[in-house]
């Protein structure tokens, strides 16, 4: 089930002391989908997926999230009340790649994450396939 289907843009500037996603502007199409509900019989490792693809509207809005996925995930998670480490972060580009963010350590009020990128697995592809056909 699609929960949100938005265009997410940032200008690369700091506002009210918040760190921007990246220091360069960017624009992504973002679709947040619910993959399943936990029941007594079955529990999902990733009940929610955030699927995103660069809009590449202009050269200046062509920032890749590969190196900024933690900042992006923090903003999206805060805005849409998601658990970063229980969300499947899926980037659509030349290939479909998945980022997993695992809490590593906490410094004062900020959590640092260990990030690993990998190709999407066949079972993940079958789960997200209905949501990426018209992306």
Q: Which domain holds residue 91?
A: 2-132
The pLDDT value given to residue 64: 76
Please state the pTM of the whole predicted model: 0.87
Are 31 and 108 spatial neighbours (Cβ–Cβ below 8 Å)? no
List % helix, strand, coil for the chain (3-state, nearest 5). Answer: 20, 40, 35
> Number of folded domains in the chain?
1
Beta-ladder partners of 110: 107
The pLDDT value given to residue 19: 81
φ and ψ of 130, to 5 deg: -65, -25
What are the tokens at 63?
């920032």
The pLDDT value given to residue 40: 67
Are 13 and 22 spatial neighbours (Cβ–Cβ below 8 Å)? no
The pLDDT value given to residue 60: 60
Please give the chain's pLDDT, 135 residues, in tens: 999 999 998 888 877 777 888 888 888 999 999 987 766 677 777 889 999 998 876 666 567 788 899 999 999 999 999 999 899 999 998 899 999 998 887 777 778 889 999 999 999 999 999 999 888
The pLDDT value given to residue 37: 72
Q: How buried is 78 (Cβ within 10 angstroms: 0-12 exposed, 13-18 middle, 19+ buried)? A: exposed
């Amino acid at each position: 089930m699609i929960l949100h289907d938005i265009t997410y843009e940032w200008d690369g500037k700091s506002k009210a002391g918040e760190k921007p996603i990246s220091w360069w502007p960017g624009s992504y199409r973002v679709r947040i989908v619910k993959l399943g509900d936990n029941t007594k019989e079955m529990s999902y490792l990733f009940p929610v997926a955030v699927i995103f693809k660069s809009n590449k509207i202009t050269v200046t809005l062509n920032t890749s999230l590969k190196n900024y996925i933690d900042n992006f995930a923090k903003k999206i998670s805060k805005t849409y009340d998601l658990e970063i480490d229980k969300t499947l972060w899926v980037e659509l580009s030349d290939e479909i790649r998945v980022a997993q963010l695992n809490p590593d350590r906490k410094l004062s009020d900020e959590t640092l994450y260990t990030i690993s990128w990998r190709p999407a697995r066949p079972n993940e592809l079958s789960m997200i396939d209905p949501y990426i056909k018209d992306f």
